[in-house]
Amino acid sequence: MTFTTRKAALSGLGIMGAAALVLSGCAAAPEAGPSESAAPDFKACMVSDAGGFDDKSFNQLGKQGLEAAADELGIDIQTSESSTEDDYAPNIEALIGEGCNLIVTVGFLLSGATIEAANANPDVEFAIVDDSLDADFDGKNDTENGKPILFNTAEAAFLSGYAAAAYSKTGIVGTFGGIQINPVTIFMDGFVDGVAYYNEVNGTDVKAIGWDKESQNGSFTGGFAAGVEAKTAAQALLDQGADVLLPVGGPIYQSAAEAIREKGGDIALIGVDADVYETDPTVADLLLTSVLKGVDAGVHDVVVAAAGGTFDTTPYVGTLENGGVGIAPFHDFESKVPADLGAALDDLKAKILSGEIKVESPATPK
């Protein structure tokens, strides 16, 4: 595990661009209050999950949101990077010992350690990305000082599923995940529903493999690391004819990219969380789009509120409506997708926002 600390100077940096409007950049999440209201001695801290802060995904976005808030407010920040799940609780405890006023933990897997630490340290404020802090599943936050940062990524993944079906030449697209948890399956639910909607309105029969929404069963690697398991999962989908892959789980997309290059052909990759075209140029040529989750925007908003004395435990939920989720531009694939696809997705987004199309998942944040 590693620790870093810094004093951020005022520089007026904004939130990073991953929370962009569908196809052309999303509006920022709810705006923060004036920076002059922040306590000058406030210290905001963050613990990554085992993916680390260089995962080019949600840990990295979380750190960017923390740093953007610090640059805006001139506050101290400190980060702690976890190597394994065994690091979560000790890393949180270490940051408590460092005098952190707010500790943001990144990822569902830190839920238990976060709840325990929050309840044992009522004078410290906590927030967690991708978890509702409801260990007993009674629909209530199990802490009085913890704030969930959640995302209805099914809405954005629905758009990506539609786009994948429109691009596919084989009529088969696939998805697989890291671990079968809500923040992963919500992408997969939205994706397969988007494919189904494409078939409904276009009279086609594109198949989505790797995930069955009705039974909630599908293909998972068992972790969020790139490696043999992720590459094998990708190869299995490619061997069934899939020519678009949506790997959900941080760095596992890197192994999917390896499998795609070995397979050859016009196979496309869809990224998650960040605009992977921007964060990882090594796979840019493979990317149809990315399903964006504005972790940076959510973290920024929570840090600014806490530093300004307006922290509360009401969940932050990123949606298409508030710009907390979206999909990235087609970038190099702009000339490879149907000419009317952008307009179709704009229309689709409008129908989701109006309620004409309801995108639902068992994992949708309540």
Work out the end-to-end distance of the chain between its first and last CA atoms, rounded to an integer number of angstroms.
33
| 265 CB-contact burial (10 Å; exposed 0-12 / middle 13-18 / buried 19+) | exposed
Better-predicted residue by pLDDT, 276 or 33 = 276
Q: Using 50, 70 and 90 to split pLDDT, how confident is the model at 58? A: confident
Q: Which two tokens stand for residue 269?
A: 């990759």
Residue 4 in this model has a pLDDT that exceeds 70: no
Confidence of residue 40 (pLDDT cuts 50, 70, 90): low
Instruction: Domain 153-293+324-354: give its CATH architecture.
Output: 3-Layer(aba) Sandwich (3.40)
Residues 171 and 176: their CA atoms lie apart, in Å, by: 17
Per CATH, 2-152+295-318 and 153-293+324-354 having the same topology is answered yes
Q: How confident is the model at residue 168 (pLDDT cuts 50, 70, 90)?
A: very high
The residue type of 54 is D
The rounded distance, in Å, linking the Cα atoms of 60 and 253 is 15
pLDDT at residue 271, as a whole number: 97
What is the pLDDT, as a whole number, of residue 17? Answer: 35
Please state which of the ranges 38-52, 148-162, 311-325 shows the lowest mean pLDDT: 38-52
Complete DSSP assignment for 189-242: HHHHHHHHHHHHHHT---EEESEETTTTEE-B-SSSS-SHHHHHHHHHHHHTT-
Contact 106, 59 (CB under 8 A): yes
- Summarised one tens digit per residue, pLDDT across range 273-317 is 999 999 999 999 999 999 999 999 999 999 999 999 999 999 999
CATH dotted code for 2-152+295-318: 3.40.50.2300
CA-closest candidate to residue 291, choices 196, 155, 120? 155
Residue 225: predicted pLDDT = 87
Each residue's pLDDT tens digit, 221-234:
999 889 999 999 99
**Residue 253 pLDDT greater than 70, yes or no:** yes
Place 56 in a pLDDT band, splitting at 50, 70 and 90.
confident
Locate 292 and state its tokens: 């964006």
**Cβ atoms of 15 and 21 closer than 8 Å:** no
pLDDT of residue 166: 98
Instruction: For residue 346, give both structure tokens.
Output: 């704009």
- Give 38's pLDDT tier (boundaries 50, 70, 90): low
Domain range annotation of the chain: 2-152+295-318, 153-293+324-354
CA distance 307 to 305: 6
- Please check whether residue 119 is in contact with residue 194, taking contact to mean a CB–CB distance below 8 angstroms: no
pLDDT tens per residue across span 334-364: 999 999 999 999 999 999 999 999 999 999 9
How far is CA 244 from its chain centroid? 19
SS3 of residue 342 by DSSP = helix
**Nearest partner of 72 among 8, 167, 151, judged by Cα:** 8
What would the mean pLDDT of 318-334 be, rounded to a whole number? 95
What is the pLDDT, as a whole number, of residue 250? 84
Q: Are 171 and 161 in contact (CB under 8 A)?
A: no
- 283 within 8 A of 261, measured Cβ to Cβ: no
Average pLDDT of the chain, as a whole number: 90
